[in-house]
Amino acid sequence: MESEITLKSTERIDDLQRNGLQIIQDKERFCFGMDAVLLSGFARANRGEAVLDLGTGTGIIPILMTAKTKADRFCALEIQEESADMARRSVRLNHLEDKVNIVTGDIKEASRIFGKASFDVVTSNPPYMVAGHGEACPDEAKAIARHEILCSLDDVVREASACLKPNGRFYMVHRPFRLGEIFSCFEKYGLKPKEMRMVHPFIDKEPNMVLLGASKGGNDGIKTAPPLIVYKERGVYTDEIYDVYGY
């Protein structure tokens, strides 16, 4: 029951438009964006599989993936206790306590916290910006979510690989301008890129996001999906985006 969930003065409950799911967000902290929703639809997890989300924020990816996949168990790691607390309350709000476990901890310690080779699937919507890129953010919580302050791309890929079982799958959303660095990290930690899909705001604009899938081990060869276009026109999503959101 919603009445059992205590909200702080700056928090709200948002409808996720999927299986009646809801999420608690704080308008003064970092709220999830389209990138997390797109990743939850891009990642695949099968019945009997265990999924780990690194840097889960308020838990948007594992919560949505309970509706979009058949996976049995989700763990999610978040370093900011205030965000982790919101995620735990959202899990209770949706009666997902038996499927989703939110853990407060550092991505750099993920394989120590959960154990090596413990998951079939790892997902992450990590901070995109390195020092010197992007606008400076005066709010600490938002800065941590957007900039590589508490973890680097190398940390995320290293720990994802360490937590994956052999032939396990890693799904990530990131910025196209860092693809070279991403692929170098994949190679460094034994991940083979398998899937890639560019996300364009409009059909005639450069991509501003990239969805990536990789496997731990396996053969070379990457499948490039058709571009995903977000808007038909300003303020109007394409049919595929409406489908991803569940409208």
Average pLDDT score, the chain: 91
Structural domains of the chain, ranges and CATH numbers in brackets: 8-245 (3.40.50.150)
Stronger pLDDT, 84 or 144, i.e. the higher one: 84
The residue among 93, 106, 28 whose CA lies nearest residue 60 is 93
Structure tokens at 53: 């989300």
The band of 219, judged by pLDDT with boundaries at 50, 70 and 90, is: confident
Neighbouring residues of 95: CB distance < 8 A, sequence distance ≥ 6? none
The band of 149, judged by pLDDT with boundaries at 50, 70 and 90, is: low
Neighbouring residues of 34: CB distance < 8 A, sequence distance ≥ 6? 230, 241
The residue among 53, 145, 68, 57 whose CA lies nearest residue 100 is 53
Strand 119-124 to strand 100-104: parallel, antiparallel, or no bridges (unpaired)? unpaired
Contact 230, 238 (CB under 8 A): yes
23-45 residue pLDDT tens = 999 988 888 999 999 999 999 99
Quote the CA–CA distance of 77 and 70 in Å, as a whole number: 20
What would the mean pLDDT of 61-66 be, rounded to a whole number?
Answer: 98
pLDDT confidence of residue 2: 47
Give this prediction's pTM.
Answer: 0.91
